[in-house]
Structure 1
Amino acid sequence: MQKRGIAYFSAEFGLDESLPIYSGGLGILAGDHIKAAADRNVPLTGVGIFYGRGYFQQRIDEGGRQQHLYPEVNLEASVYPVQLVRDDHNQPLLIEVPLINRIVYAKALAVQVGTVTVYLLHTDVEANSEADRRLTDNLYPSNQEVRISQEILLGIGGTRLLAALGIQPEVWHMNEGHCAFLAFERIRVLSAQGVPFETALETVKASTVFTTHTPVPAGHDVFSIDMMDRYFGEFYWQLGADRERVLSLGQMGGAFNMTRLAVSTASKVNGVSKLHGEVTRELFHHWMRHIPKQDIPVDYITNGIHIETWLAAGMKELFDRHLPADWTTSTTNPKVWDAVRNIPSKELWEGHQLAKADMFDELELPIHSTGRGPLVIGFARRFATYKRALLIFSDPQRLACILGDPHRPVCLIFAGKAHPADGPGQNMIRQIVELSREDRFKGRVHIVENYAMDKAKKLVQGVDVWLNTPTKPMEASGTSGQKAAVNGVLNCSVLDGWWAEGYNGRNGWAIEGNQDGDHDTQTNQDSEALYRLLEDEIIPLYYKQDEESVPMEWVSLMKESICSLAPAFNTHRMINDYWHKVYVPAMTRGKQFASDHFEVASRVAAYKQFIRSNWSRVLVSNVEIVTDNHSGRIGLHKTSFRAEIDLGAIWHKDVRVEAVGSDGREGIWRVKLEPVQQSARGKFVYEGASFDTSINFWKANVNVRVTPISPDFESKFELELAAWGIQ
């Protein structure tokens, strides 16, 4: 077996529109991740599924209804080399995957992206039944039986494929929970070698990392326990554990949650923006009620874009002339982008106008540009209700006045697909089509059908303003606005996802409605904020009279947007973050846990089992909090904490005892307590003190907790256990 860096598993890869095996943001991000890894020579291998009919092609009929077409994917049209993977006998390599008392065979296609290979499994194999040949026809099927079959193929089949290819990854990266069954297969392989289940679990966990992209509970794949039993009834025992222990890795609320499985089997978990990291901690707090959300072990790495994929040809030519010669390999260096400020404003404006005209032509938009106008606002993304495509239509008459000003014309361009099972999303498309036909909006509101990467490129390159109106905080990250920004397009967005980090007050606009109140209140406040921005800032600035027909202040905003956003929100920065913060630590940890016949993994497994078995006996009692305003230290007061702790059979050096409380600003404070007296076997008195006057130590705000610790843990709360005092 050969060691080969990172295995990157994803249900979809958006590499190019010629290979339509992606549905939206997750796939586009995965595709850009692959390209960045190739650019940076990161030793990474992609693993996914080849969908024979891809994600659906969208047609919008006369009634505004979305139609779903599923033509076969034409591999010969792919811009990336795609080859059938063959075995040593030059026969198609077939992977066997168990699915309910039968074996399903999957062949593999290899897609070459620079130095990185992406392997895609496909079940259209003669040895399969007709139904099994169709299992990998479509991405994200609504049928739960097909959905779980695909996720088994991805996780278990993908792991077996790498083994068949002689690839032994040092790190396993799960991009969303769809692929989390890979942990089952890796544990099964170790179990077959005689490694006990708990030791195998710790070994797998040490070298596995998980990126979550979904900020709402409904977005996580969940399968019934009955379905799990049907698909894994003959698989549980192969992992070396009983059914209940295996299911416990993902069981939540009487069902099996794939995100929970991913968290249970990964040493590192990250969201995809700073805000999303906070939202994810809040979400996972529902699983771990006894741990404050601030302590939930979730980090974040903000998404970025592969600049060369999304940059307009004219803009690239402009950057080639004015930026340092090595700019394409130095995209993370802010000083490189500072040169944008020196591009003559007229050249930058004309470059954007060329991209705008190209968009009109390529998308066959019946928009005629005269002089500076019209101002074009783009809204293009998946049509899901939380993205609020209709927010800008909240007051139709007011919008009609904004768009219909003959002296300052404005156009709206919409594009996007709704999932075939998403009725409300499809209804939004129908409503926009109907609105576009009303006299007051005719010629001002346009919708582009069959949104895909090719059309996305034209839109992010050619519109003047990129509009994003999600219900905060439901946008995990979003990257379309980043693609727009590098092309000089200005963002107007709710401060959600990546924009909460990117907006600096000088590089676009923030829709800052008051986030308090119910959904309707938020909608009203956000729409009012949006209208005011359009009426008072965006449109006047765009049409402000300047020299040589160039809106100088607008172009200054364009430059600020590029300079401030391009170096921070690109995949070269992102892959560097993954390498240093996630991949290298996981490589090191994985090697440690597997070395010397799994000595560390075995020790950690035994320790965790011991702690779990004895944790119910840990009790915190007689908590005392005393504030001394005469501590002898000028300007300070001393707050002392005391608690009696019964640890039972657990050693006092295997726990951390702290006084914990809210700081009143969405944060928490901690004061460490030390054992000062042992009253009986396993029973201790702990004390500690703080001189921090910035903390309000009122008693209702304070509790004492005990948590298990180990130098072998990846995080302080790896065991997800805590015993509290005052209840």
Structure 2
Amino acid sequence: MISAKDPVCGMTVFREQAMTAAYEGRTWYFCSELCRRSFLADPERYLGAREPSEIVSPSARRIAYFTMEAALDPAMPTYSGGLGVLAGDTLRSCADLKIPVVGVSLLYWKGYFEQKLDEWGNQQEHPVTWEPGGPLRLLPVTVSLTIEGRTVVVQAWQYEPVGVTGGRLPVLLLDTNRPENAPEDRELTFWLYGGDERYRLAQEIVLGIGGVRMLQALGYTEIDRFHMNEGHAALLTLQLLRDATPVGSTEWDFAAVRRRCVFTTHTPVPAGHDQFAYDLVRCVMGDLLPLEVLQMLGGRDRLNMTLLGFNMSTHINGVAKRHGEVSQEMFPGYAIDSITNGIHSVAWTSEPFRQLYDRAIPGWRTDPFSLRYAISLSNQDIWDAHVQAKTRLLDEVRRRTQRQLNLDAFTIGFARRATLYKRADLLLSAPHELIETVKQVGALQILFAGKAHPKDEPGKEMIRRVVQAAKQLERDVTILYLDNYELLLARLMTAGVDLWLNTPQRPLEASGTSGMKAAHNGVPSLSVLDGWWLEGHIEGVTGWSIGSRTMAQKPDQPEEARELYQKLRWTIMPMYYRSRDHWIDVMRQTIALNASFFNTHRMVQQYAANAYV
């Protein structure tokens, strides 16, 4: 038997028994599916030449970034969607820029869920099957906390994103699946966004209170800023308040805690903010703080995690300019800033475009702002890279569905969480319009993807409507709904389609980042003017709009659908088929104007300047 070294974890494996993957003309060998998928997601991370990685001691970390979910690795089911993807990209950019951050999240043994769709579009949810290992390391330290009067022991797994400059960043994934815990407590880190209110509150206790205690136990004693990525982690402020107050004292040092905390809100609707009845809080959390203190900080009737975070933070921000304004209207008593989201440029740029940028824009990996120089890229180079990215996407579609799509056909991508306000079915609301467009202009292919929350029946019904419409239109328009949308598929879709579509109901799109990912691959957007697109849209230059910029009147869905169809038929598809040079101009401008700005390097630098320092 011939042995080889796994490039991800460094283990020696026997080739005859190993899992394999092909890259750059050779075969690579892996000890597990986890390592194989990690490699395929970002081969250069494991093979590329980099400066030696720096190991920074815990005492040198000054910022703790708390998040309920984080998309760190395609093989690790520690995320469900946009919030987790943003967190993962944020941590990667912090590693690139060597910002002294430590990440804190939870480890989920059964993940969010794996989605399977039957031929009618009925969603079935299955647990994710995986074992922590490979790039994860179990730390030899535990902490304890009290839940429902029981002692719960918490352990931590460490994952270390390695930046393109060699910087390492520790991410602690908290876990209660230990033999000394009661069965119901071992399951607290099984499911992401699963269970009832009691389960959710217990998870947030593990994240916020357990996270602070774990940092202390591991020697992270010099944390200046605790950054809460949404309200799930707001209970950390209560632990900090306890720590800042002498034993037996009733003089709570709110100001000391407030100076150390930063809060980012992502939710533009009141119903989206976690709230818990005080009876439940007392039952699950116990007497960490007196009830009157909780009511003062988190609301009189229910513990509102967003209010708790707001009241205990020195800096609060939304995730786009419009979202900051909406949040200010929702919470008029608070000063709410905005820092527009971004995406990690290297992680979301497809291999063909990476190679193009490496040749033409040296230094873009460490300074994504230099992508503005894409304005000088040649038409042929841009188109060649796009065709390669599109080919890779269609190959994956064929592997998943056994359907061979047309490389030359105009292809639209729509991939979002399947919930009503995302309006995945707006494009299909008038099927005859699509048929006429195909007859007049040319072939059309549409790729959908996205999971509905297991309890979101309207979202599941929307998936069924899309699948049913696909059956009705199959003679004229090729429409596929790809199941189990995850990081690897997202990277292929955002890079490989010709147009990215986004149709949320305004003003419910806090930011959105999928169009930013598309922009890094020269894919323009057709989108409702909400979230980040209000800042990235220049009509006919970086893409096209649906609806008005103003919110003076309630959005008119039939009118938005008409505008969508008109722009497809009379502007967008004719440009693609009949004026290819003009189309590539839009691709080039999309990269130069949007990819150069809407990235997490710029975003993290804004946090450092406006919130951390």
Rounded Cα–Cα distance in structure 1 between residues aligned with 2:59 and 2:367: 32
Match of 1:160 among 187, 191, 213: 213
Shift of 1:345: 0.5
Rounded Cα–Cα distance in structure 1 between residues aligned with 2:578 and 2:306: 50
Indicate yes or no: 2:145 matched with 1:70. no
Aligned to 1:420: 454
- Contact 1:392–1:530 (CA under 8 A) maintained in structure 2: yes
Aligned to 2:100: 43
Indicate yes or no: 2:251 matched with 1:204. no
Rounded Cα–Cα distance in structure 1 between residues aligned with 2:612 and 2:148: 35
- Contact 1:466–1:491 (CA under 8 A) maintained in structure 2: yes
Shift of 1:265: 0.7
Indicate yes or no: 2:433 matched with 1:387. no
- Contact 1:124–1:132 (CA under 8 A) maintained in structure 2: yes
- Contact 1:156–1:184 (CA under 8 A) maintained in structure 2: yes
Match of 2:137 among 77, 83, 102: 83
Aligned to 1:322: 360
Match of 1:463 among 482, 493, 497: 497
Rounded Cα–Cα distance in structure 1 between residues aligned with 2:454 and 2:96: 36
Rounded Cα–Cα distance in structure 1 between residues aligned with 2:304 and 2:564: 38
Indicate yes or no: 2:190 matched with 1:143. no
Rounded Cα–Cα distance in structure 2 between residues aligned with 1:517 and 1:44: 41
Rounded Cα–Cα distance in structure 1 between residues aligned with 2:310 and 2:157: 29
Map of 1:330-479 to 2, 5 A cutoff?
Answer: 330-332=367-369, 336-364=370-398, 366-369=403-406, 373-402=408-437, 404-405=438-439, 408-440=442-474, 444-479=478-513
Rounded Cα–Cα distance in structure 1 between residues aligned with 2:156 and 2:474: 53
Shift of 1:516: 6.5
Rounded Cα–Cα distance in structure 1 between residues aligned with 2:377 and 2:473: 42
Rounded Cα–Cα distance in structure 1 between residues aligned with 2:132 and 2:522: 34
Indicate yes or no: 2:531 matched with 1:497. yes
Rounded Cα–Cα distance in structure 1 between residues aligned with 2:249 and 2:390: 61
Aligned to 1:186: 240
Rounded Cα–Cα distance in structure 2 between residues aligned with 1:273 and 1:195: 41
Shift of 1:337: 2.7
Aligned to 2:31: none
Match of 1:310 among 324, 348, 364: 348
Shift of 1:406: 7.7
Range moving further from structure 2, 183-192 or 530-539: 183-192
Distance 1:150 1:375, change over 3 A: same
Q: So what's the TM-score if we normalise by structure 1?
A: 0.73
Shift of 1:526: 0.9
Match of 1:568 among 597, 608, 611: 597
Shift of 1:105: 1.0
Distance 1:553 1:53, change over 3 A: same
Match of 1:34 among 91, 96, 114: 91
Aligned to 2:522: 488
> What SS is found at the alignment partner of 2:69?
coil
Give, as a single letter, the amino acid of the residue that structure 2 aligns with 1:369.
Answer: N
Rounded Cα–Cα distance in structure 2 between residues aligned with 1:34 and 1:534: 37
Shift of 1:196: 4.7
Give, as a single letter, the amino acid of the residue that structure 2 aligns with 1:145.
Answer: R
Aligned to 2:150: 102
- Contact 2:528–2:545 (CA under 8 A) maintained in structure 1: yes
- Contact 2:146–2:286 (CA under 8 A) maintained in structure 1: no
Indicate yes or no: 2:216 matched with 1:171. no
Aligned to 2:612: 583
- Contact 1:356–1:463 (CA under 8 A) maintained in structure 2: yes
Rounded Cα–Cα distance in structure 1 between residues aligned with 2:557 and 2:612: 41
- Contact 2:435–2:476 (CA under 8 A) maintained in structure 1: no
Rounded Cα–Cα distance in structure 2 between residues aligned with 1:105 and 1:363: 44
Distance 1:25 1:235, change over 3 A: same
- Contact 1:469–1:494 (CA under 8 A) maintained in structure 2: yes
- Contact 1:187–1:197 (CA under 8 A) maintained in structure 2: no
> What SS is found at the alignment partner of 1:414?
strand
Give, as a single letter, the amino acid of the residue that structure 2 aligns with 1:215.
Answer: P
> What SS is found at the alignment partner of 1:411?
strand
Q: CA RMSD in A?
A: 1.8
Shift of 1:4: 2.1
Rounded Cα–Cα distance in structure 1 between residues aligned with 2:475 and 2:256: 60
> What SS is found at the alignment partner of 2:335?
coil
Rounded Cα–Cα distance in structure 1 between residues aligned with 2:131 and 2:80: 17
Shift of 1:104: 0.9
- Contact 1:400–1:441 (CA under 8 A) maintained in structure 2: no
Rounded Cα–Cα distance in structure 2 between residues aligned with 1:195 and 1:45: 31
Shift of 1:401: 2.5
- Contact 2:273–2:305 (CA under 8 A) maintained in structure 1: yes
Match of 1:266 among 294, 310, 313: 313
Aligned to 1:704: none
Shift of 1:375: 0.5
- Contact 1:516–1:522 (CA under 8 A) maintained in structure 2: no
Rounded Cα–Cα distance in structure 1 between residues aligned with 2:210 and 2:599: 32
Rounded Cα–Cα distance in structure 2 between residues aligned with 1:440 and 1:449: 18
> What SS is found at the alignment partner of 1:504?
coil
Aligned residues: 546
Indicate yes or no: 2:183 matched with 1:127. no
Shift of 1:231: 2.4
CA deviations over 1:424-467 (Å, ceiling 9, x no partner): 11111111111111245665111110000000000001000000
- Contact 2:448–2:482 (CA under 8 A) maintained in structure 1: yes
> What SS is found at the alignment partner of 1:134?
helix
Shift of 1:167: 0.6
Shift of 1:354: 1.0
> What SS is found at the alignment partner of 2:143?
strand
- Contact 2:441–2:569 (CA under 8 A) maintained in structure 1: no
- Contact 2:265–2:317 (CA under 8 A) maintained in structure 1: yes
Give, as a single letter, the amino acid of the residue that structure 1 aligns with 2:321.
Answer: K
Rounded Cα–Cα distance in structure 1 between residues aligned with 2:465 and 2:249: 58
- Contact 1:142–1:421 (CA under 8 A) maintained in structure 2: no
Indicate yes or no: 2:272 matched with 1:225. no
Q: So what's the TM-score if we normalise by structure 2?
A: 0.86
- Contact 1:376–1:411 (CA under 8 A) maintained in structure 2: yes
- Contact 1:435–1:441 (CA under 8 A) maintained in structure 2: no
Give, as a single letter, the amino acid of the residue that structure 2 aligns with 1:283.
Answer: M
> What SS is found at the alignment partner of 1:151?
helix
In structure 2, runs of 5+ residues without a counterpart are 1-57, 163-167
Rounded Cα–Cα distance in structure 2 between residues aligned with 1:523 and 1:128: 51
Aligned to 2:70: 13
CA deviations over 1:621-663 (Å, ceiling 9, x no partner): xxxxxxxxxxxxxxxxxxxxxxxxxxxxxxxxxxxxxxxxxxx
Shift of 1:16: 2.0
Match of 1:301 among 309, 317, 339: 339
Aligned to 2:304: 257
Rounded Cα–Cα distance in structure 2 between residues aligned with 1:514 and 1:499: 10
CA deviations over 1:387-412 (Å, ceiling 9, x no partner): 1111112212212322x438611111
Distance 1:257 1:209, change over 3 A: same
